[in-house]
Amino acid sequence: MLSLKKYLTEGLLQFTILLSLIGVRVDVDTYLTSQLPPLREIILGPSSAYTQTQFHNLRNTLDGYGIHPKSIDLDNYFTARRLLSQVRALDRFQVPTTEVNAWLVHRDPEGSVSGSQPSSGLALESSSGLQDVTGPDNGVRESETEQGFSEDLEDLGAVAPPVSGDLTKEDIDLGAGREIFDYSHRQKEQDVDKELQDGAEQEDTWPGEGAEALARNLLVDGETGESFPAQVPGGEDQRALSLEECLRLLEATCPFGENAEFPADISSITEAVPSESEPPGLQNNLLSPLLTGTESPFDLEQQWQDLMSIMEMQAMEVNTSTSEILYNAPPGDPLSTNYSLAPNTPINQNVSLHQASLGGCSQDFSLFSPEVESLPVAGSSTLLPLAPSNSTSLNSTFGSTNLAGLFFPPQLNGTANDTAGPELPDPLGGLLDEAMLDEISLMDLAIEEGFNPVQASQLEEEFDSDSGLSLDSSHSPSSLSSPEGSSSSSSSSSSSSSSSSSSSSASSSASSSFSEEGAVGYSSDSETLDLEEAEGAVGYQPEYSKFCRMSYQDPSQLSCLPYLEHVGHNHTYNMAPSALDSADLPPPSTVKKGSKEKQADFLDKQMSRDEHRARAMKIPFTNDKIINLPVEEFNELLSKYQLSEAQLSLIRDIRRRGKNKMAAQNCRKRKLDTILNLERDVEDLQRDKARLLQEKVEFLRSLRQMKQKVQSLYQEVFGRLRDENGRPYSPSQYALQYAGDGSVLLIPRTLADQQARRQERKPKDRRK
DNA sequence: GCCGACTGTCATGGT
DNA sequence: CTACCATGACAGTCG
C-alpha cells in the first residue's frame, strides 16, 4: 500500500507538472472538494447497495437517464454539461498560468487510505440520494450547482439519512436485507443526527480519498503523457490499449468538476489525438444520454474495478453466492483483488493509444455519470482498498475475456449494432436483458416456492417500506396468527371461559367429587401446570384447558376445569369412604332424603368405573393411592390388608388403568405440543422465506443496477476510443476485450464474438 | 342421528 | 420378568 501511495503521489506530481507544462492550471483543491461526493460515491458505491433508500431512489433513475440522486441532481447535471462546454472552450483558447498546488501533491495519502474504507461514507451517500431526489431543495441546488460540491457535501451530511455508517459497518453481511426491518427504519430517523456528525467526519476523509484517486489518475496520465507505442495496427487489426490507460486518460481528460479551472484534455497532451477537433455532437450521439455530461471525474480505476467485479458477477449466475460476494467479500478477499486493475502494473507501458486513442476532452466525460455513480455497486466497496495487486491473479480469473462478449451475447451484438444508435449501439443491451431474465427466473423460483409473485413485485415496488415481516404477515396463514392472537388472552380468557362453562353444571358437585379426584391427581401436576401456563402464554387455549383438566390435584383449581360441565367423564377413581358411606347409607331424615339421593346419584355418576368397581369390591383404600403410590409403598399397602384375588386383580387393573390414563393424557399433550411447535416452525420458516425472497429481490435489483453501470462504463470507454483519424470505432466492428495481461484490447468484433462463445462454453461445461 | 371433540381404556412395544 | 411409560386404536360421552 505504501508503494502504491508513493506511486500515486509521484504520478500525481508528474501529472500536475505535465499539466502545468501545457499551460493548464490545475486547481486540485477545487477538484477534491467539489468532486468528493462522486469520489466517495465511487468508493463507497457498493455499500450503497445496502441502503434501501438508494434502491428506491435509483429505481426512479433506472430508465437510463437517471442522475445520481445522492450527489447530483438533474439541474446539476445539465449545468455541469454547460460548464463542461465552457471549460472545453477554455482549454483551447486559454492557457492559464501554471499553478500547481504543492500541498496537494504532498498530501499525506495515509489519511486518504484510511478514509477509503467503504463504511465511512455510506450514510452520506444514501442520504444524498434522498435529498436530491425527493428533497425539496432541488430548486436551491439548481442555483447552487456552480458553487461546487463542497456545499453539497455539507448538505449531504446534514441530510444524511439513517442507514449510514453504522449499518454498513456492522451489517455488510446482511446487506440490504437489514433495511427490510422496520427497526432499521426507525433507526434511521434516530440516527439522523449521528449521521450528520458522521458526514462531517467523512467529509474530512474525502479529500484524502480524492487525493489518492486523483493521484492515481495523475500518475497514469504521467505515464500516458508519454507516447504510447503503437501496437501493430496491421495484422489482425487488433489494437491494444490498456484499459487503465483508457480510463485514466478519460479521467484525466475529464474536467475536474464545475469548479475545475483545468480543462485538461489528453489530446492536448498527446498530439496523436485529433479528436479534439471533432465535433462533440458526434460523440454525444454515440453515447447514451445517461453518460453524457457528467462533470464528475471519478476514480476511473475503481470504476473499472467495479466493472470487472460486475463482470465476474455476471459470469457467475445470479444466485445466492452473488449476494455473498457482494456483501461479504472482505476488502482483501481474492475476488476483489483479482479484479483490481493493478494500476501499477507495467501492463500499461505496452499500451498504445496511438491507434486507439481516447477522444478529446469532450463534454461527454460522463464516464461516471451521476446515475452510474449512484448505482450501488456492492462489489466496489471491496475493491476500493485494493491496491495494485498482481495482475496474474486477475489474468487467471478472466483470461482473455471479451468485454463485449460478457456484456452482451454475440447474437445480440449484431442486432444491437444495427438498431441502436448510429455508431455506438448499446453493447450491453444483452446484459440488461440478462439481468431481467435473471430476475424473472428468480421470480419464477419464488413462485415455485410458493411465494406470491404479486408480493414479489410488491417487494420491488415498495422496497423501502417493505419488510420481511410485513410481507410475511401479508401471506402468513391465519392459522398462525389465530393461535397467537388468542394467546395474549388465552391464560385469562381460557380460564374464565372454561370456568364459566364448567361452573354451570359441575361446580356444585365438583367440590366433593373432585376433592377425591384430586387424590387421583397426576404426579406431574405442578410441573404441568407451569408448563400449561407457559403454553397459555403461547396462546394455545385448548392445550391450556386440557391441562387444566389434567391437573386438578388442587380442588381450588377445579373451578377452571371446563371438562366438568359435560363430563360424564368422571375421573374420580376414588371416593372418600365417608363420601361413599354417605352416599350409600340411607338418609337419617326423609326430608333430606331426596336431595341426598340426588347427590348420591350424581356422585355415582361422577365416579369412574374403576371407582365403582373398587367400591363394589370393598377396596379399603382410595384409587388415588392405588394409582399413585410407588410400587414399594403400593405393595406395602397391599400387604397390610387381607385381600382376595379378585380385589388384588381389581386393584392392579385400577392402578394400570389409572397410570395409563395419565400416560394417555401426557401423550396427547405431547402430541399437541409437537403440533404447536411444528406450527411455529412453519411460521418461522415462512417468515424466513419471505425475508430471503426479499433479499433476493434486493440483490437482483442491485445486480441489475450494476449491470447498467457496466454498460455505461463500457459505452463510455468505447465511445471515447478514437482511431488514428480521430474517429470513433464502430461498435459493430470492434469490441473491447479484456486481455489476459490485464490490458484491454480493441479487437474486431468477429474475433470478440468467437472468444465470447468460447467463454460461454466453459461455464456450461463446468456446470455439467 | 351425525359429527367432532374429549376422554378413558386396551393392546402393544420399548425401556 | 416386572414395572413403567408411550402410543395407536377404539369406544363412550357430550355438545
Q: Is the CB of A652 under 7 A from strand B?
A: no
Distance CA A481 to C1' B11 in A: 39
Residue A64 — left, alpha, or beta (φ > 0 → left; ψ -120 to 50 → alpha)? left
Give the closest residue to C13 (Cα–C1′).
Answer: A568
Q: What is the pLDDT of residues A346-365, one digit of tens each?
A: 333 333 333 333 333 333 33
Q: Is the CB of A661 under 7 A from strand B?
A: yes
Q: Is the CB of A653 under 7 A from strand B?
A: yes
d(CA A718, CA A20): 28
Q: What is the pLDDT of residue A697?
A: 97
Long-range contacts of A681-690 (CB under 8 A, 24+ apart): A682/A480, A683/A476, A683/A477, A683/A480, A686/A472, A686/A475, A686/A476, A686/A477, A686/A480, A687/A468, A687/A469, A687/A472, A687/A476, A689/A449, A689/A450, A689/A451, A690/A451, A690/A455, A690/A468, A690/A471, A690/A472, A690/A475
Q: What is the pLDDT of residues A561-597, one digit of tens each?
A: 333 333 333 333 333 333 333 333 333 333 444 566 6
Q: Is the CB of A657 under 7 A from strand B?
A: yes
Give the closest residue to C5 (Cα–C1′).
Answer: A663
Residue A329 CA, chain-centre distance (Å), reads 14
CB A49 within 8 A of CB A378: yes
Give the closest residue to C15 (Cα–C1′).
Answer: A566
CB A157 within 8 A of CB A200: yes
- Using alpha carbons, list the distances in angstroms from residue A336 to A310, A701, A712: 11, 21, 21
Distance CA A33 to C1' C3 in A: 87
Q: Which residues of A114-124 are buried (b: 16+ CB within 10 A; e: fewer)?
A: ebbbbbbbbbb
Of residues A157, A688, A703, the one with CA closest to residue A440: A703
Distance CA A746 to C1' B7 in A: 84
Q: Is the CB of A668 under 7 A from strand B?
A: yes
Q: How many CA atoms lie within 13 A of A496 on its CB side?
A: 5
CB A318 within 8 A of CB A700: yes
Unique residue bearing C-alpha cell 427497526:
A183
d(CA A60, CA A53): 11
Of residues A141, A120, A99, A130, the one with CA closest to residue A39: A120
Residue A358, SS3 per DSSP: strand
Q: Is the CB of A569 under 7 A from strand B?
A: yes
Q: Is the CB of A669 under 7 A from strand B?
A: no
Distance CA A684 to C1' B12 in A: 37
Q: Is the CB of A676 under 7 A from strand B?
A: no
Give the closest residue to C3 (Cα–C1′).
Answer: A631
H-assigned helices in A429-494? 429-448, 453-461, 468-475, 478-489
Query: How would DSSP label each residue in A120-161?
Result: HHHHHHHHHHHHHHH-TTHHHHHHHGGG-HHHHHHHHHHH--
Minimum-distance nucleotide, CA of A656 to C1': C4
φ, ψ of residue A173 in degrees (nearest 5): -65, -35
Q: What is the pLDDT of residue A709?
A: 93
* Contacts with A625 (C-beta within 8 Å, 6 or more apart), sequence order: A519, A574, A634, A637
Distance CA A566 to C1' C12 in A: 13
CB A55 within 8 A of CB A163: no
Minimum-distance nucleotide, CA of A605 to C1': C13
CB A416 within 8 A of CB A430: yes
Q: Is the CB of A664 under 7 A from strand B?
A: yes
CB A532 within 8 A of CB A543: yes
Report the DSSP beta bridge partners of residue A44. none
Distance CA A656 to C1' C7 in A: 15
Q: What is the pLDDT of residues A312-334, one digit of tens each?
A: 444 443 333 333 333 333 333 33
Residue A232 — left, alpha, or beta (φ > 0 → left; ψ -120 to 50 → alpha)? left
Distance CA A505 to C1' B10 in A: 30
Residue type at position A639 = S
Minimum-distance nucleotide, CA of A661 to C1': B8
Unique residue bearing C-alpha cell 444483452:
A430
Distance CA A688 to C1' C5 in A: 38
Q: What is the pLDDT of residue A720?
A: 86
Give the closest residue to B7 (Cα–C1′).
Answer: A569
Give the closest residue to C7 (Cα–C1′).
Answer: A667
Q: How many CB atoms lie within 10 A of CB A499?
A: 20
Residue A578 CA, chain-centre distance (Å), reads 73
Residue A704 CA, chain-centre distance (Å), reads 14
Q: Is the CB of A672 under 7 A from strand B?
A: no
Distance CA A763 to C1' B4 in A: 59
Minimum-distance nucleotide, CA of A652 to C1': C3
Query: How would DSSP label each residue in A75-138?
Result: HHHHHHHHHHHHHHHHHHH--PPP---HHHHT--HHHHHHHT-HHHHHHHHHHHHHHHHH-TTH
Distance CA A516 to C1' C12 in A: 23
Distance CA A516 to C1' C9 in A: 30
Residues of chain A with pLDDT under 70: 1-606, 763-768
Unique residue bearing C-alpha cell 490490458:
A743
Of residues A373, A316, A455, the one with CA closest to residue A41: A373
- Using alpha carbons, list the distances in angstroms from residue A253 to A99, A119, A256, A388: 18, 30, 9, 22
Distance CA A664 to C1' C6 in A: 8
Q: Which of residues 589-648 of A touch strand B (CB under 7 A)?
A: 608-610
**Cell numbers standing for residue A187:** 433507526
Give the closest residue to C2 (Cα–C1′).
Answer: A631
Residue A82 CA, chain-centre distance (Å), reads 38
E strand or H helix at A721, and its extent? strand A721-722
Nucleotides of B under 7 A from a protein CB: 5-11
Distance CA A313 to C1' C5 in A: 58
Q: How many CA atoms lie within 13 A of A446 on its CB side?
A: 28
Q: What is the pLDDT of residue A706?
A: 95
Residue A56 — left, alpha, or beta (φ > 0 → left; ψ -120 to 50 → alpha)? alpha
Distance CA A609 to C1' B2 in A: 27
**Cell numbers standing for residue A24:** 493548464
- Using alpha carbons, list the distances in angstroms from residue A695 to A180, A310, A702: 8, 18, 10
Q: Is the CB of A68 under 7 A from strand B?
A: no
Give the closest residue to C4 (Cα–C1′).
Answer: A659
φ, ψ of residue A747 in degrees (nearest 5): -125, 160
E strand or H helix at A527, and its extent? helix A525-538
φ, ψ of residue A144 in degrees (nearest 5): -90, -10
Q: Is the CB of A546 under 7 A from strand B?
A: yes
Distance CA A479 to C1' B13 in A: 35
Distance CA A736 to C1' C8 in A: 72
Does the reported pTM lie above 0.85? no
Nucleotides of C under 7 A from a protein CB: 3-9, 12-15
Distance CA A686 to C1' B8 in A: 38
Residue type at position A106 = H
Distance CA A639 to C1' C3 in A: 18
Residue A354 CA, chain-centre distance (Å), reads 45
Distance CA A61 to C1' B9 in A: 73
Distance CA A400 to C1' C10 in A: 76
Q: What is the pLDDT of residues A486-523, one digit of tens each?
A: 333 333 333 333 333 333 333 333 333 333 333 333 33
Minimum-distance nucleotide, CA of A546 to C1': B6
Give the closest residue to B5 (Cα–C1′).
Answer: A542
Distance CA A478 to C1' B7 in A: 29
d(CA A355, CA A89): 26
Residue type at position A440 = I
d(CA A398, CA A385): 20
Q: Is the CB of A671 under 7 A from strand B?
A: no
Residue type at position A283 = Q
Distance CA A566 to C1' B1 in A: 20
State which protein residues have CB closer than 7 Å to strand C: A 505, 565-569, 630-631, 634, 655, 659-660, 663-664, 666-667, 670-671
Minimum-distance nucleotide, CA of A657 to C1': B9
Q: What is the pLDDT of residue A606?
A: 65
